[in-house]
Amino acid sequence: MAERITWIGALDPALRTFDVILKTANGTTYNAYVVRGSAGVAVIDTVKAPFTEEFLAKLEATARYDELTVLVLNHLEPDHTGAVAALLARAPHLQIYVSTRGLQVLRGLLKGAFERYDIRAVTTGDTVSLGDLTLRFLSTPYVHWPDTQCTFAEELGVLFTCDFLGCHYCDERLFNDAVGDFRFSFEYYFEHIMRPFRRYVVEALDLIEPLGAQMIAPGHGPILRATPEAYIQHYRRLANSRLAQATGGAKTLLIFYVSAYGATEQMAQAVCAGASEIEDVRVSLFDLQDGDVQPFVDLIEEADGLAFGTPTINGDAVRTVWDLLSSLVDIETKGKLGAAFGSFGWSGEAVAMVEARLQGLKMRVPEPGLRIKMYPGAEEEETCRAFGRSLAQHLTGQMAPREIDMTELLAAQG
Amino acid sequence: MPIGKLTFEDVALTVSVPEGTRIIEISEKVGAGITYGCREGECGTCLTRIVDGEGNLSDPSALELRVLKENLAGHNDRLACQCKVMGGDVTVRPG
């Protein structure tokens, strides 16, 4: 593949669905590598379990087991660690280098055998020598698991990035200047795997860009030997691709609603009016009834707060609300403000269900959901406005601190 | 029984709690943004920043210490599913 580096990965051209959530028209590859130094040989990552024999055969054609000194695991997901147990059975002496956060997953993978091996947790700045070659580790968490790291073969200028800068595209020609057109696959992989972590993507790019790598060798898809820096720049564009908001320093609150008879819509308008009373909060109101939810995902990614209005129909929130909420898996929602409200006729379960989902999305939900039986009266409309004001005040940090007793809290939860 | 005051900074709310109350017992009920994975101290998802009153929490167990270390937690971070308020004031926010 390059001087001192051998590709020992596997091609999986028949794969069409990866990890349940991803489609691929061209299959994928599981890239693993051998790096040979004057006083040590390293294996970088492995393959998915069904390809273990193929991986071992390629490895054996390149090096003897007793020559191997180092196993680097840049990411512990099974498609890269499927052959670890088989490799360690043949080379139990290997020093295993893994990120600190990777330890617990490796422990889960190796079970009782974990204690038997020479496992070393590493972070940015740590290195291991292969004689005339040095492997330098870079901690790049959350691209796309907490454990992810990159490894730089310094003297060769080759950066091993595992899932980062990879894609699902299978082509035996291996290199980006030799394979077919994989640009769509590269962007699709970013959108579905990296986008929820784009904050960390930017941090990882900041860390790896100064290395000036001559080649980027990811864990899936083409090896980027022609203009590797162009892929780093493209990741930056993908991570910051939206038109900037003209809101200046103002906080943004998006209110989404669906209404069966106009009651939840009335609530939504009152919540919107209340929130709009607070300075420095930009409030937007959207009716989800006829909408395709996908465009809203982009808006939500940039928003500070989200409120969902839904009636209760057959004891549940309505489908478009669930469609939108389930689409949020592609973006980061942690720490945003969330709220739910809605009108109901009989039981009104929808509001609590939506609140639970918002909490599941790692959002804070400081105001208990607002439910109104049938249409809001004048007093209840004021309650809706106050709800909106409170949400806006939470966003601007103006909410007056409140204090309650645990028994009150438990009683309120019923 | 000693009473502690547990403040969730991200939702601007303080809850009076009896000694021995775990943060996990309260945080979801008040809508704080602390999220949980395994709820058994293994996964590190509920890493929580102790803004104030660290000394008013129970000492970390060996398991919690290990998980904090492996998750590169700062010295003011604890696992919300593990630590208990022992009295006094404690202020937390999602880690």
Q: Give me the domains of chain B, ranges plus CATH numbers.
A: 3-94 (3.10.20.30)
Asked if B21 is an interface residue toward chain A (Cβ–Cβ < 8 A), one would say yes
pLDDT value of residue A21: 81
pLDDT digits (tens, 9 = 90+) for A2-53: 889 999 999 999 999 988 888 998 999 999 999 999 999 999 999 999 999 9
Take residue A388 and report the two structure tokens written for it.
């909106």
Q: How far is A271 from chain B (nearest CA, A)?
A: 19
CB–CB contact B70 A103 (8 Å):
yes
CA distances from A233 to A176, A202, A237 (A): 16, 10, 6
The rounded distance, in Å, linking the Cα atoms of B64 and B60 is: 6
Q: Which of B25, B26, B34, B35 is the best substitution to test chain A (most A C-beta atoms within 10 A)?
A: B35
Asked if B79 is an interface residue toward chain A (Cβ–Cβ < 8 A), one would say no
Q: Give me the domains of chain A, ranges plus CATH numbers.
A: 5-239 (3.60.15.10), 251-399 (3.40.50.360)
Give how far the C-alpha of residue A352 lies from the chain's centroid of Cα atoms, to the nearest Å. Answer: 26
pLDDT digits (tens, 9 = 90+) for A357-370: 999 999 999 999 99
Buried b (16+ CB within 10 A) or exposed e, A193-224: bbbbbbebbebbbeebeebebebbbbbbbbbb
pLDDT digits (tens, 9 = 90+) for A280-328: 999 999 999 987 898 899 899 989 999 999 999 999 999 999 999 999 9
Asked whether A216 and A228 are in contact (CB, 8 A), the reply is yes
Q: How far is B73 from chain A (nearest CA, A)?
A: 10
DSSP string for A93-109: TPEEEEEGGGHHHHHHH
pLDDT digits (tens, 9 = 90+) for A154-185: 999 999 999 999 999 999 999 999 999 999 99
Give how far the C-alpha of residue B17 lies from the chain's centroid of Cα atoms, to the nearest Å. Answer: 13
Asked if B28 is an interface residue toward chain A (Cβ–Cβ < 8 A), one would say yes
Asked if B63 is an interface residue toward chain A (Cβ–Cβ < 8 A), one would say no
Find the chain A residues whose C-beta atoms sit closer than 8 A to any C-beta of B: 100-101, 103-104, 121, 123, 146, 334-335, 355, 359-360, 362-368, 394, 399-406, 409-410, 413
Q: Peptide bond preceding A144: is omega within 30 degrees of 0, i.e. cis?
A: yes
DSSP collapsed to 3 states, A291-351? CCCHHHHHHHHHCCEEEEECCCECCECCHHHHHHHHHHHHCCCCCCEEEEEEEECCCCCHH
pLDDT digits (tens, 9 = 90+) for B9-27: 999 999 999 999 999 999 9
pLDDT value of residue A204: 98
Which residue in chain B has the smallest CA separation from A339? B31
